Structure 1
Amino acid sequence: MALKAVHVSDVPNLDQVPQNASLSLYPTRFCTGLEVNKTGFRIPKFVVIGHRGKGMNELQSTDLRMRAIKENSITSFNSAATYPIDFVEFDVQVTKDDCPVIFHDNFIVSEDNGTIYEKRVTELCLAEFLCYGPQKEAGKMGKSLLRKTKDGKLVYWNVETDDSLCTLQEAFQQVEPSLGFNIELKFDDHIVYQNEFLIRVIQAIFQVVFENAKDRPIIFSTFQPDAAQLVRKLQSTYPVFFLTNGGTEIFYDVRRNSLEEAIKVCLEAGLQGIVSEVKGILRNPGAVAKIKESKLSLLTYGKLNNVPEAVYMQHLMGIDGVIVDLVKEITEAVTDMIKPPMVEEEQSLSEGEGKMEVKTRPQFSQREISFLLKLIPELIQL
């Protein structure tokens, strides 16, 4: 299925875009952020984005930070907002009664009287979706919530700080308004979607965004190439990024299998950027220059983004920002390594005061950077 044959005139009209919608591209948390002008789209500074809020949940991890706060929740988003990040990234799906909800997995897994069952999120109505996990009403118990791991094991979704499931509208209404939203449109990799379904999902999400975004900065992203193209065709207010594994996984749709294909998708559809698995970039660092030459922005995601040195290396490579789980640690590292170091000053007002402590960022020559770029692909297992 290709959306090249779909014309905007064939798509039902969207609600009117607010007159001040373009202001939503300018974050109020920082003096610089996303900028759109007649020559295109750019990210003028290195951005840090919280993955599913303050970090995804890895329920079998021995690292307690990976199961501290329920991912994709209002609590997680607002906790992330207490750190100097620019955006939170989260996954949006649409229920069968057309309500955009925030949830990563394609299926909700639960247990009832010893029987395990799972239901596809998009086949639930909103009331059914919200009945799982903690409930907003005091004293009310929701249905149990389990999660299936990549190796097929079932684990209870136990975290230190739990929270109820939420809708996209609730996120707009209850999350710190200056915090940007990277809205990932979530689809099942194993389904070939019809145009009508994609249009219905996108319009439901647009309705909530345009009614609630106000001045909040927004980025749309998705792994689904046809959906990415359609999101771009149906609105020009917010930037659209194409998500890719960068060749680290192989899919039936060849457009998802390399950075080169991702560039083609973006250029053909007029998208503004790429979000790649960081290993895909580090295995093929030459792709960064090609992406920049194509006037596309580049963000990355992946576990390596929780390593400060890997984040700093990406800054040196010209990557525009990172999606991270360890929000506290990485924002501190970015402050120490990327932002200009403090000017050392003498404290001489009174006896006993010395020089201010100065943290300096690592210094590399261009020759050393070139060597590291050649070495990195060998360090990342192919």
Structure 2
Amino acid sequence: MVQGIVNESRVTDLSLSEFLLYGPQKETEKIGKTLMRKSKEGKVLKWDVDLDDSLCTLQEAFEQVEQTLGFNIELKFDDQTVYEREFLVHILRSVLQVVSNYAKDRPVIFSSFQPDAAKLVRELQSTYPVFFLTDAGNEIHNDERRNSLEEAIQVCLEGGLQGIVSEVKGVFRNPAAISKIKESNLSLLTYGKLNNVGEAVYMQYVMGIDGVIVDFVEEIIESTTRMMIRPPPSSSPLPSPSKDDDVAITRPEFSQKEISFLLKLLSQLIQH
């Protein structure tokens, strides 16, 4: 936004120098262009976050973020655009060149909602795992490959991908897909607002889901750890776990009937 006028631009239409002019600037005396965001309903809203920093390039992220932290590089593309293979190859090779030059020994995975891009990045390199992102039917897309976990499995098998990252409600609505994913030797991760609820994350642990993407990492770790700690034999209150505590963490044992009941209950709850 400049002088009260909102100019809508795609990131891909901006040069690097234009892109870096938005938001907080590295040189604090400079004022960046105001960032706005557009809702799914088309409303233009102010970009409002608790903490913000200047925009950076992927190279700068590799150079400045602690080396032990892994990167999930999401390859974003326009939902409404049909991309030619040559264009995707050009974009992906540019990203892969930066990763090759600067990732060093950092753990890296790639992910994308764009099925052709996900398959292509796997075709172009075999060093890093590639995951297919899916709404799993929570939103309907013109590309049928994006509309169900079954289609996501097919994308992964066709492209030699390592796994699926699904919106968590899609998994709770279709728990039978978990066994199909496991039988296909694929990993399953989830994302979504429900993953900020400890009980929902714990349920996924019980179901055998491999990992979750959450906003409040420390809070979720604490709440789920409490649920996983084996109760002490005495009737004394359970102390808060600390890093130095020698606690027994076990996966609870439920019968298939109990798990089936819980999944049906969850499926009903998330529809309301």
Structure 1 length as normaliser, TM-score?
Answer: 0.65
Aligned to 1:232: 122
Aligned to 1:196: 86
Aligned to 2:146: 256
Aligned to 1:307: 197
Moved more, 325-334 or 216-225: 325-334
User: In the alignment, is residue 167 of structure 1 matched against residue 49 of structure 2?
Assistant: no
Q: 1:325 aligns with which of 208, 215, 232?
A: 215
User: In the alignment, is residue 357 of structure 1 matched against residue 233 of structure 2?
Assistant: no
Change (3 A) 1:156 1:259: same
**Separation in 2 of the partners of 1:200 and 1:280?**
33
| Structure 2 unaligned blocks of 5 or more | 242-247
**Separation in 2 of the partners of 1:126 and 1:162?**
19
Deviations 1:93-147 (Å, cap 9, x if unpaired)? xxxxxxxxxxxxxxxxxx2122111111001110000000110013111111111
Aligned to 2:37: 147
**Could you tell me whether the CA contact under 8 Å between 2:206 and 2:252 is conserved in 1?**
no
**Separation in 2 of the partners of 1:337 and 1:219?**
29
Amino acid aligned to 1:218: V
Query: What is the Cα deviation at residue 378 of structure 1?
Result: 1.8
Query: What is the Cα deviation at residue 344 of structure 1?
Result: 7.9
Query: What is the Cα deviation at residue 305 of structure 1?
Result: 0.5
Query: What is the Cα deviation at residue 308 of structure 1?
Result: 0.5
Query: What is the Cα deviation at residue 337 of structure 1?
Result: 3.0
Instruction: Give the ranges of 4+ consecutive aligned residues of structure 1 lying more than 3 Å apart after TM superposition.
Output: 340-345, 358-364
**Could you tell me whether the CA contact under 8 Å between 2:133 and 2:164 is conserved in 1?**
yes
Change (3 A) 1:355 1:369: closer
- For residue 162 of structure 1, give the secondary structure of its aligned residue in structure 2: coil
- For residue 298 of structure 1, give the secondary structure of its aligned residue in structure 2: strand
Query: What is the Cα deviation at residue 358 of structure 1?
Result: 5.8
User: In the alignment, is residue 114 of structure 1 matched against residue 23 of structure 2?
Assistant: no
Query: What is the Cα deviation at residue 356 of structure 1?
Result: 7.5
Aligned to 1:222: 112
Amino acid aligned to 2:62: F
- For residue 153 of structure 2, give the secondary structure of its aligned residue in structure 1: helix
Deviations 1:177-226 (Å, cap 9, x if unpaired)? 11111111000100001111101110011011111111111111101111
**Could you tell me whether the CA contact under 8 Å between 1:341 and 1:358 is conserved in 2?**
no
Amino acid aligned to 1:123: D
* Larger RCO (alpha carbons 8 Å, 6+ apart): 1
Query: What is the Cα deviation at residue 380 of structure 1?
Result: 2.0
Amino acid aligned to 2:196: N
**Separation in 2 of the partners of 1:199 and 1:267?**
20
Deviations 1:10-41 (Å, cap 9, x if unpaired)? xxxxxxxxxxxxxxxxxxxxxxxxxxxxxxxx
Task: Report matched runs for 1:279-298 at 5 Å.
Answer: 279-298=169-188
User: In the alignment, is residue 335 of structure 1 matched against residue 232 of structure 2?
Assistant: no
**Could you tell me whether the CA contact under 8 Å between 2:199 and 2:224 is conserved in 1?**
no
Amino acid aligned to 1:133: G
**Separation in 2 of the partners of 1:325 and 1:135?**
25
**Could you tell me whether the CA contact under 8 Å between 1:298 and 1:321 is conserved in 2?**
yes
- For residue 378 of structure 1, give the secondary structure of its aligned residue in structure 2: helix
- For residue 381 of structure 1, give the secondary structure of its aligned residue in structure 2: coil
Amino acid aligned to 1:161: L
- For residue 220 of structure 1, give the secondary structure of its aligned residue in structure 2: strand
**Separation in 1 of the partners of 2:150 and 2:190?**
15
**Could you tell me whether the CA contact under 8 Å between 1:262 and 1:274 is conserved in 2?**
yes
Name the structure where helix makes up a greater proportion of residues. Answer: 2
Query: What is the Cα deviation at residue 154 of structure 1?
Result: 2.2
**Could you tell me whether the CA contact under 8 Å between 1:169 and 1:208 is conserved in 2?**
yes
* % identical equivalent positions: 64
**Could you tell me whether the CA contact under 8 Å between 1:180 and 1:218 is conserved in 2?**
yes
Deviations 1:270-306 (Å, cap 9, x if unpaired)? 1110011101100000000000000000000111111
Name the structure where strand makes up a greater proportion of residues. Answer: 1
RMSD: 2.2
Change (3 A) 1:343 1:170: farther
Aligned to 1:379: 269
- For residue 242 of structure 1, give the secondary structure of its aligned residue in structure 2: strand
**Separation in 2 of the partners of 1:215 and 1:223?**
26
**Separation in 2 of the partners of 1:249 and 1:304?**
16
**Could you tell me whether the CA contact under 8 Å between 1:132 and 1:144 is conserved in 2?**
yes
**Separation in 2 of the partners of 1:117 and 1:301?**
31
**Could you tell me whether the CA contact under 8 Å between 1:342 and 1:358 is conserved in 2?**
no
Moved more, 358-367 or 317-326: 358-367
Deviations 1:51-95 (Å, cap 9, x if unpaired)? xxxxxxxxxxxxxxxxxxxxxxxxxxxxxxxxxxxxxxxxxxxxx
Aligned to 1:316: 206
